[in-house]
Structure 1
Amino acid sequence: MADDWKAQDRPADEKSWKLIEKTMLASVHEQRRARRWGIFFKFLTFTYLFIMLALFVPLSDLTSEASHEGGYTALIEVKGTIADDQQASADNIVGALRKAFDDSSVRAVVLRINSPGGSPVQSGYVYDEIKRLRALHPDIKLYAVISDLGASGAYYIASAADAIYADKASLVGSIGVTAASFGFVEAMNKLGVERRVYTSGEHKAFLDPFQPAKEEETRFWQQVLNTTHQQFIDSVKRGRGDRLKVEGHPELFSGLVWSGEQALELGLIDGLGSASYVAREIVGEEKLVDYTVQDSPFDRFAKRIGTSVAEHLALMMGWQGPVLR
């Protein structure tokens, strides 16, 4: 009887084991398939990233100035806001200037400027360094070339050059100082919000936008701005000398901005032309070698990808404001 039961039960056990075996084999195959697809998609992602990197970073960006032979003109870009945490920081510009002036193959240096200005401290640092390097290397001329915009702190830097060139439609000047904020006192009163500030100095919180401005503090702040403005004016006068048409033009240091053509008449610039024009016609060395301090290729790639994503999000969400073309 027991033998009969075992004989009947054995086929059922074999079927169960075969079913379990098939299930386990199918699971192993599925894991292998998933692993293969994972490897494939990772490879595809890396391939895409490298292709995008190659598109965004031209091979010329990866070559150093050491690969060039013979004499040439060094090019340094001053682009965007002049500030400590920006590409156009004093450290970046000064580092590039020192490297260019120390290169025996450099015949002249061109600062190509497209900047609205920025920090007076950063601009003054670059101005002083240009003066120092020009004194150390009197045989190497430094030319400032303004493309679209050379205003405020950017013109501060340009005024230290041997000569300044710009396009006839460039915007040049804005020799002035500004500091702006908002006052929220009335809004807080309407909302019933009480401002509580604790200081150990009588005027420690004088720039607080949530407190009423005091007349004596406003006068003090204006004196600070006037002092900074006078430092700016003195530096421009030292840099430009008799070339400035100060007589009869009291608005020269008023913060106004002029076209390149108007700036030439006022003595703010020395001629009209581009960086390539200066290298070819003024320096006599047409070859331009870029000494600008650059982000690493991966940093630039990441920034451009981030900017592209932000722009598309802005368009989709309707956040894109009016722009000038």
Structure 2
Amino acid sequence: MNQEHKENGWEKELVEKLAFAAVNEQRKARRWGIFFKMLTFTYLIAILAIAMYPRFKTEMSHGEKKHAAIIDVQGVIAENEAANADAIIEGLRKAVKDDSTQGIILNINSPGGSPVQSAYVYDEIRRLKEKHPDMPIYSVVSDICASGGYYIASASDKIYVNQASIIGSIGVIMNGFGFVNVLDKLGVERRLLTAGSHKAMLDPFSPVKESEAQHMQSLLNQVHRQFIDAVKTGRGDRLAESPEMFSGLVWTGTEGVKLGLADDFGSVDSVAKDVLGVEDKVNFTPQERFLERLVGKFGASFGHALGTTARTLMLQ
């Protein structure tokens, strides 16, 4: 009987040891899990802090000292891009409201983009100039200022370029592809049903209808006319007009100055110092777009890590 009791006691002791070992391993794993979740949390906070730093620095830089307000117009001008009308207009309005702003510099490096977005910015610049006639607004071109980029620049008081800058492209484009012959060679039949005789206008798998092509060309001509009128209004008598000026051609900065498409040579630094007479520059380009993309990308993992960490701590 004693022998059986000893055997049972040994087995029970072994089971208890194994159970305690398993519990200890679970606790260790849980602690490491908490550590890595907190590390992820800290990493995300650091990323957000880095992203917010330029805006924080800009806001903290505003003071009594006069400065040039910089607004970037970089890349393609489109609603879902960094260079969108809402962001540029927001920067313009904040710069004007700042009492220490000596003048505004649009830092442009853009091949163009949406005529609508460009027109929004153009109209806002004209409105601000009318409301605040003593606030100079200059455009400074680095590599390229073409199409929609030049649409925006033409609203400013003066345009400064580098000798090698590319400027111009006063035109409108609509492009696409046609695959009708490819389908014929492959023996593929195109089946298309529409309600509305022009609903499939410019369908790439159907032959082009002359009436539809003429209609679209008429639309392009109207937008082109609006573009030309805006440039003429903004540049006035400075333009040395010629048939090629509004044909979509581009020129170097040197040629652009001769044609009246630009006024002089300069950089952001030289315009701030030599034209506006200030040493300090403050960037008013809104940072929210970047933060929104960042939060959208990390938001799910951040929330999951935070929620899991909280639940784990509650179970301790």
Q: TM-score, normalised by structure 2?
A: 0.87
Change (3 A) 1:127 1:49: same
1:194-233: CA deviation from partner (whole Å, max 9, x where unpaired)? 3233333222221211110012221221121112111111
The CA distance in 1 between the partners of 2:18 and 2:115, in whole Å, is 74
Q: Tell me the amino acid that sits aligned with residue 265 of structure 1.
A: K
Measured after TM superposition, the shift of residue 128 of structure 1 is: 0.9
Q: Which residue of 2 aligns with 1:109?
A: 104
Q: Which residue of 2 aligns with 1:212?
A: 207
**3-state SS of paired residue (2:24):** helix
Gaps of 5+ in 1: 1-5, 306-325
1:72-131: CA deviation from partner (whole Å, max 9, x where unpaired)? 211111111111111111111111111212222212111111111101111111111111
Measured after TM superposition, the shift of residue 189 of structure 1 is: 2.2
Measured after TM superposition, the shift of residue 190 of structure 1 is: 2.8
The CA distance in 2 between the partners of 1:23 and 1:142, in whole Å, is 77
Change (3 A) 1:58 1:66: closer
Q: Tell me the amino acid that sits aligned with residue 254 of structure 1.
A: S
The CA distance in 2 between the partners of 1:173 and 1:295, in whole Å, is 30
The CA distance in 1 between the partners of 2:188 and 2:94, in whole Å, is 55
Q: Which residue of 1 aligns with 2:63?
A: 69
**2:16 maps to 1:16:** no
Q: More relative contact order in 1 or in 2 (CA 8 Å, sep 6+)?
A: 2
The CA distance in 1 between the partners of 2:290 and 2:218, in whole Å, is 45
**2:229 maps to 1:229:** no
1:256-289: CA deviation from partner (whole Å, max 9, x where unpaired)? 1111111111111001111111111011122111
Measured after TM superposition, the shift of residue 58 of structure 1 is: 8.1
The CA distance in 2 between the partners of 1:57 and 1:206, in whole Å, is 44
**2:243 maps to 1:250:** yes
Matched residues, number: 297
**2:253 maps to 1:260:** yes
Query: Mean Cα displacement is larger for which, 271-280 or 214-223?
Result: 214-223
Q: Which residue of 1 aligns with 2:282?
A: 289
1:18-43: CA deviation from partner (whole Å, max 9, x where unpaired)? 11111101101111221222223334
Q: Which residue of 2 aligns with 1:321?
A: none
The CA distance in 2 between the partners of 1:17 and 1:214, in whole Å, is 89
**2:115 maps to 1:120:** yes
Q: Which residue of 2 aligns with 1:182?
A: 177
CA-based RMSD? 2.2
Query: Mean Cα displacement is larger for which, 272-281 or 220-229?
Result: 220-229
Change (3 A) 1:200 1:59: closer
Task: Report if the CA contact (8 A) 1:65-1:290 is conserved.
Answer: no
Q: Which residue of 2 aligns with 1:319?
A: none
The CA distance in 2 between the partners of 1:205 and 1:296, in whole Å, is 35
Task: Report if the CA contact (8 A) 2:62-2:100 is conserved.
Answer: no
The CA distance in 2 between the partners of 1:302 and 1:65, in whole Å, is 21
Task: Report if the CA contact (8 A) 2:55-2:286 is conserved.
Answer: no
Q: TM-score, normalised by structure 1?
A: 0.85
Task: Report if the CA contact (8 A) 2:82-2:289 is conserved.
Answer: no
Gaps of 5+ in 2: 299-316
Q: Percent identity?
A: 52
Q: Tell me the amino acid that sits aligned with residue 159 of structure 1.
A: S
